[in-house]
Amino acid sequence: MRKSIINSITFLVSILIVSGCSEVKTSELADTQLLYYGGDILTMQGSEPNYVEAIVTDSDSIVFVGDLSESKELFPSARKVNLNGKTLLPGFIDAHAHFAGFPSQAIGAQILPPPDAGANNINSLIEILKAWSTPENIELTGWIFGMGFDDSVLEEKRFPTKEDLDKVSEEHPVMIIHISGHFCVVNSKGLELLNINSETPNPEGGVIRRIPGTNEPNGVLEELAAIPLMPKVLAPKNEEAVKAFMKSGQDMALSYGYTTAQEGRAMPNSHLFIEHAAKTGFLKLDVVSYIDYSVSDSLLNTEWYSSTYNNHYRIAGMKLTLDGSPQGRTAWRTQPYLIPPEGADEGYSGYPAIPTDKDVELIYEKAFKNNWPIHTHANGDAAMDQMIRALKKVTNKYGNEGRRDVLIHGQYVREDQLDEFKNLNIIASLFPLHTFYWGDWHKELIGDSLGNKISPTRTALNKGLKITIHTDAPVALPNLMRVIWTAVNRVSRSGEIIGENEKLTPYEALKCITEWSAYQHFEEDSKGTLEAGKLADLVILDANPLKVKLDEIKEITVLETIKEGTTVFKRETVTNRK
């Protein structure tokens, strides 16, 4: 498998084409100037919406923001771009996702539940996998695979097992990845190839689920029994596969308006994949990586750890994971789940990824000692208690001046914990997308009162925390308009409001994916708002999120994505809005 990954990276180097860029001469500057006008141009500066009539870009930068008449006087030779009533914003900045997983999501079997795809029961999931498993698709990795099945939405309300996936194929290995990204299921052939059997012990921080009454694996792998296997299985195995993977993943990101994407838990293989894409000039958008703590020494001590991008790529810090998925019931809580997972004892409350506080403290100490920003995945309140205990000790020793450490997800964060995070100067990157996808399920798992408090964005803002919001793609599609819609409406699949008092305004939600996310990455001087001197990272939408009905925000479409003055995505078919 390792050889396959290395070969894939070698192929990437050989097939991606470096685009030549000539230096712009002073006499040619007018040819590089673009004047945008004729629509809603929202600068995202300030606490209230600020509109301007025109913006002028020159090569990779914004050179003017203001009145249309003044822009014409100052830049008479600029090529004029009429927005025709559309909306222009700063390019979208990813607060947390997994860019290295975008290709697999874009190219694999589409096993997400409605409205994103059609896997609403196990039979439909099996049929989707069968239809996808053509010889050409299997050749991509050697596996039949898909991302995004959701047991909470499947009619059977359970995980598929190896017996279910054996119906897809007994000849080829099959892997499907849970929508949380914290579980996978493999068929019998897959278990054989991965050398997982009745004698294989559970790894620390992970579980191999067993057939009741036996030690025989049932095909479901949890947390650290699953996560290290996923990138190995999904590694493209030939040059055509590498090309298809990278193009599909990047195109998907650009189609949703990203000008900066994040790899939120980079391991050596995913880092090498993105590194070579950068070295060969393939990246059209910026990618910022946070390296898993377990391999931080090897990657944070390279030239890729930098405050500036090298061919659109940089490493920005560390990633620490303290627990699992709340909808998958592996998030570590102080109270038991009302519905424990299959095979769990009564009183089950999830479990830690790193059981010993001292080990967590040493990881934070390494980050603080080396001045490495650290993003911490914690969903359950017990995991956040552990995070706070360790951070307090390390902060007392090293201080936190100038640091921008981040809580990732924080689904079950308590109000007293938000106070602690404010005191520790932690940015809260919350996940209100859960209110739609799993809000109903959360309330079954932890009760109505606590379920209404998931992703408490309003409370966090009111307490003075800096916040962002994110997709965690490929957990869900990287559709930032749906993220805005969920943060503003907090409507579940059943139509119930999940936390009326936690809603953001549309403007606040937009700030979370522009200015505030730029700040999270230490990039506010060059990104996040439309200001002269900043990068010409722009997105054009078919409607203004601040002016449509709140429920229509999710229907807004990205028409064009512009990175450093160059159009990197343009939608060919545009549906006119009434």
One domain, residues 196 and 264: no
Q: Is cis: bond before 135, omega within 30 of 0? A: no
Domain-located, residue 554: yes
Domain-located, residue 250: no
One domain, residues 174 and 284: no
Domain of 9: which CATH number? 3.10.310.70
Q: Is cis: bond before 115, omega within 30 of 0? A: yes
User: Could you give the angle at which helices 2-15 and 268-279 cross, rounded to 10 degrees?
Assistant: 10
Burial of 348 (0-12, 13-18, 19+ CB in 10 A): middle
Domain of 330: which CATH number? 3.20.20.140
Number of Cβ within a 10 Å radius of residue 425:
16
Q: Domain ends where: 198, 233, 268?
A: 233
One domain, residues 104 and 212: yes
One domain, residues 222 and 266: no
Q: What is the pLDDT of residue 576?
A: 56
One domain, residues 227 and 268: no
Domain-located, residue 293: yes
Residue in this structure with the two tokens 């003017």, named with its chain if needed: 64
Q: What is the pLDDT of residue 276?
A: 86
Domain-located, residue 355: yes
Domain-located, residue 408: yes
String of b and e for 231-259 (b: at least 16 CB within 10 Å)? bebbbbbbeebbbbbbebbbebbbbbbbb
One domain, residues 285 and 214: no
One domain, residues 423 and 555: yes
* H or E segment to which residue 145 belongs: strand 144-149
Domain-located, residue 387: yes
Q: What is the pLDDT of residue 180?
A: 82
Q: Domain ends where: 233, 265, 288?
A: 233
DSSP-derived pairing of the beta strands 33-42 and 79-82: parallel
Rounded Cα distance between 277 and 254, Å, is 16
Inter-residue contact 385 to 417 (CB < 8 Å) = yes
One domain, residues 229 and 298: no
Phi, psi angles (nearest 5°) of residue 297: -60, -40
One domain, residues 171 and 268: no
> Letter for the amino acid at 120?
N
Structural domain span for residue 165: 2-16+97-233
One domain, residues 216 and 112: yes
One domain, residues 229 and 367: no
Q: What is the pLDDT of residue 242?
A: 83
Question: In sequence order, what DSSP letters do the residues of 267-331 get, joined into one string?
Answer: -HHHHHHHHHHHHTT--SSEEEEEEEGGGHHHHHTSTTBSSS-BTTEEEEEEEEE----TTTT-S
Q: Which residues contact 409 (CB under 8 A, 6 or more apart)?
A: 96, 377, 378, 379, 429, 430, 431, 472
Residue in this structure with the two tokens 């990633």, named with its chain if needed: 319
> How many percent of the chain have pLDDT more than 90?
83
> How many structural domains comprise the chain?
2
Burial of 268 (0-12, 13-18, 19+ CB in 10 A): middle
One domain, residues 375 and 467: yes
Q: Which residues contact 136 (CB under 8 A, 6 or more apart)?
A: none
* Averaged pLDDT, groups of 10, the chain, 578 residues long: 36 33 35 94 98 98 98 97 98 97 92 90 97 94 94 92 97 94 94 96 94 95 93 84 89 98 94 92 97 95 96 98 93 96 90 97 98 98 98 97 97 98 98 94 94 97 98 92 98 96 98 98 98 98 98 97 98 67
Domain-located, residue 240: no
Domain-located, residue 342: yes
Rounded Cα distance between 480 and 90, Å, is 13
Nearest to 33 by CA among 570, 574, 565, 572: 565
* H or E segment to which residue 147 belongs: strand 144-149
For 433-500, give the secondary structure using H, E and C: CHHHHCHHHHHHHHCHHHHCCCCCHHHHHHCCCCEEECCCCCCCCCCHHHHHHHHHHCECCCCCECCH
Question: In sequence order, what DSSP letters do the residues of 253-274 get, joined into one string?
Answer: HHHTTEEEEEEEEE-HHHHHHH
